[in-house]
Amino acid sequence: MRLGDQRASGNVEDRRGMRMIGGGLGVGGIVVVLIAYFLGFDPGAVLNVAEQVAPQREAREAPKGAPTDEMGQFVAKILGSSEEVWGKIFQQSNRQYRPPTLVLYDGRVRSACGTGQSAMGPFYCPGDEKLYIDLAFFRDLQTRFRAPGDFAQAYVIAHEVGHHVQKLTGTFQKMEAARGRVSQGEYNRTSVRMELQADCYAGVWGHHAGTMNQLDSGDIAEALNAATAIGDDRLQKQTQGRVVPESFTHGSSEQRVRWFKRGMDSGRPKDCDTFSTNSL
């Protein structure tokens, strides 16, 4: 990616190196968070379990602003790019975009959704409108998921920003409405639609990043490789040796790639309506 002139967002909380006060998650909490080792899930249920097991708090306030280290700068510039893109898109609809805050942390972190752990992967908490990322996940993206490249990392951030867009546009209300009122299978299907829409929104950002000359040749292939690597079918095959479609919560590799490409090709959020189509 070419981010030399891109403004680094100041909406970053750097909690790396901060110590948390309180007990550990315990065996039960660790089991719960490992189950959630995907991108872009609805964090509420999992994080609240972890919080109940061992409430924790940071020992001091986290500094806010663009970090100065290389990876921190990269993350801040991707966030800054997303702020420009979504700010313009919302303005076209006579709305004001409210940027999220991105929290960098090590190991585990406290959020309005509960206490999270790096094993859960990046997540968005609608309760405080913050994205949480342990940068160690980017190493996992390259080694465990075999999806290297800076644009693959940018896709991860853009996907979580996509969840924030869902919060601002009211889509998260669909998840809340479904919680506890429908079968687990129906809830999973709603979750898949949420995740695929966030993938599509990530593609919308990618489309506009391309028009701002921020993409290099091969960047799109990196994002498509990442989307393929974290499809439910591929992850289930790797972890349990078989695929159970009715338990999908994020969508298959093919679905994630297709919806990302849809947003990438059009650049229009209206083309990301996964809730009005019968076929995903």
User: CB 225: neighbour CB atoms within 10 A?
Assistant: 19
Tell me the one-letter amino acid at 61: E
Would you say the C-alpha torsion 123, 219, 168, 258 has a positive or negative sign?
negative
Reference 77, options 14, 4, 149, 155; nearest CA is: 4
| pLDDT one digit per residue (tens) for the chain, 280 residues | 999 999 999 999 999 988 665 544 443 333 333 344 444 445 555 554 444 444 455 545 677 899 999 999 999 999 999 999 999 999 999 999 999 999 999 999 999 999 998 888 899 999 999 999 999 999 988 998 888 899 999 999 999 999 999 999 999 887 888 787 888 889 899 999 999 999 999 999 999 999 999 999 899 999 999 989 888 888 887 788 888 888 888 999 999 999 999 999 999 999 999 999 888 8
For residues 227 and 185, give the distance between their C-alpha atoms in angstroms, rounded to a whole number.
23
H helices then E strands: how many in the chain? Answer: 10, 8
Would you list the domain boundaries of the chain?
Answer: 12-272
For residues 155 and 209, give the distance between their C-alpha atoms in angstroms, rounded to a whole number.
11
Q: Are 21 and 57 in contact (CB under 8 A)?
A: yes
For residues 124 and 157, give the distance between their C-alpha atoms in angstroms, rounded to a whole number.
10
| Helix 219-229 with 253-266: angle, nearest 10 deg | 150
Token pair belonging to 277: 């189509």
Residue in this structure with the two tokens 């709305």, named with its chain if needed:
95
Token pair belonging to 121: 């992967």
Phi, psi (rounded to 5 degrees) for 140: -65, -35
Reference 100, options 232, 201, 212; nearest CA is: 201
Phi, psi (rounded to 5 degrees) for 137: -60, -30
Mapped to the 3 state alphabet, what secondary structure does 72-135 carry?
HHHHHHHHHHHHHHHHHHHHHCCCCCCCCEEEECCCEEEECCEEEEHHHCCEEECCCCEEEECC
